[in-house]
Amino acid sequence: MADSRVNSARILGSDLHLELTRAGSRRTALMAALREAIRDGRLAPDTRLPPYRSLAADLGIARNTVADAYAELITEGWLTARQGSGTRVAPRPASPPPRRRAPGPERGGPPTGATGGRRGPRPAPYPVHNLLPGQPDAASFPRTAWLASARRALTAAPHEAFGPGDPRGRPELRRALADYLARVRGVRTDPGRIVVCAGFAHAVRLLSDTRLLRPRMAVESYGPAFHRSLLRSAGIRTVPLPLDADGALTEGLADLDGVRAALLTPAHQFPTGGPLRPGRRAAAVAWARESGGLVLEDDYDGEFRYDRRPVGAVQGLDPDRVLYLGSVSESLSPALRLGWMVLPDHLVDGLLAAKGEHEGWTGVLDQLTLADFIESGGYDRHVRRMRQHYGRRRDRLVAALAEHAPHVRVAGIAAGLHAVLELPPGTERSALRAAARQRLALDGLGGYRHPDATTPHRDGLVVGYAAPPEHSFTEALDALCRALPPGRTAT
């Protein structure tokens, strides 16, 4: 039988594509084609099908043939028919969610899960509570204010904004960022030194293309495995800098052979917490000046400090030797894919050459909207509101631990969206297995440790407290406390 292809838009308002290829009668071939389209999802539940007269005309077959096929599929449960509503695809039973490991965040380590017997890994139960770090409260995205900024930005946008993009990013956003970063983070810059990108990973890839970071780069001995993997794939070997309670020991940078750049998280070390103390900030800048090196400052959550005013950016100490990186992934949403680099003057041309002649990574409309959102004060208001919201979340976490697990020390809570729970030696893996049984998605501290680090191994959990919905946050904290190892009984 020859193929018959159908495009019917008169009733559906879109094309309906069927192939009547099955041997046998036309009715049998039509029924098989409709079942296949429903089974593979091309015809979704509640989709309205064309009246049998219209479909018969499209297919070039008898109307009674289509009517009989519809009637039989209704009997079988594939279709439904109601007076005045026409013939529609019947609802399908919902499939249970797949049992899979929890996805790791951009900053997190590998996902955790229980392992089984001789047949290999057994998937962890599908997580119910998301306590992964580096993720904001998605329900708190400022939809109304963002929409208002989008409308104003779209109305005011010049015609050339809808043409090929500038690799630097929209000038409206770069001007807004220059003012905001100077006022809030102490960054010294102008719009000409700001390059908009699609986030931290995009920035690192661009910098790797310029060969600024090769052949060896210093990183903190505890940090995201994703970043190390990203640098390794670009041919850059990472060298760990030891850490203590005051941040990275930057005094040791001068002793590292072949290191031309250092990646630091000075405002809030990720993930252990705590700011880089002033003397070590100065030591990092002095090393960069004397060696001709470069400091990359990852200011991933600099606005969210709860106990005192935010710690300023290291970039303000020397804009010619410190490259500042920021984004809205934690302050607004990672879905926006908007970040920025504040570059030393001598690096701008090389970075733009690596980026290309046209902006192909970040949407112009989102850039224009963010510019208006900043300039209208909406961004400041949102950050202040979320700082209070996350601060209350942090306090609830600390209170729950004090009540149910007073033997567990909480660190890194002065800022950010996560805390580190310090565990007794040798208990991290068992705590992660217990968390998986409680259907919690969280990270172990061991996944952040550089494989070449000389810093002593620390057992702990990295707990993000921003992402869970408000209605289930208490339940998530209860499940976390049940997963923690018990305290030692006094003898």
pTM of the model: 0.76
**Stretch among 104-118, 136-150, 312-326 having the lowest mean pLDDT:** 104-118
391 vs 100: which has the higher pLDDT: 391
Average pLDDT over residues 257-268: 93
Average pLDDT over residues 313-330: 95
Average pLDDT over residues 322-330: 96
Is residue 452 classed as helix, strand or coil in its secondary structure? coil
pLDDT tens sequence across 381-438: 999 999 999 999 999 999 999 999 999 999 999 999 999 999 999 999 999 999 999 9
Angle CA(85)–CA(91)–CA(92) in degrees, nearest 5?
160
* C-alpha–C-alpha distance, residues 478 and 294, integer Å: 45
Question: Which residues touch 121 (CB under 8 Å, ≥6 apart)?
Answer: 113, 115
Examine residue 271 and say whether the peptide bond preceding it is cis (omega within 30 degrees of 0): yes
Residue labelled with tokens 């890839």: 205
Neighbours of 265 (CB within 10 A): 30
pLDDT at 100: 41
Classify residue 21 as left (phi > 0), alpha (psi -120 to 50) or beta. alpha
* C-alpha–C-alpha distance, residues 482 and 477, integer Å: 9
Mean pLDDT, the chain, rounded, equals: 86
Residue by residue, DSSP assigns 9-70 as -TTTSS----B--SSS-HHHHHHHHHHHHHHTTSS-TTPBPPPHHHHHHHHTS-HHHHHHHH
Domains of the chain: 1-95 (1.10.10.10), 129-139+381-483 (3.90.1150.10), 140-376 (3.40.640.10)
pLDDT tens sequence across 188-229: 999 999 999 999 989 998 998 888 888 899 999 999 988 898
- Reported confidence tier of residue 16, pLDDT bands at 50, 70, 90: low
Sign of CA dihedral 221, 223, 225, 227: negative
Average pLDDT over residues 14-29: 72
- Reported confidence tier of residue 107, pLDDT bands at 50, 70, 90: very low
Phi, psi of 14 (to 5 degrees): -150, 170
**Closest Cα to residue 170, out of 189, 187, 157, 180?**
157
- Reported confidence tier of residue 488, pLDDT bands at 50, 70, 90: low
pLDDT at 476: 95
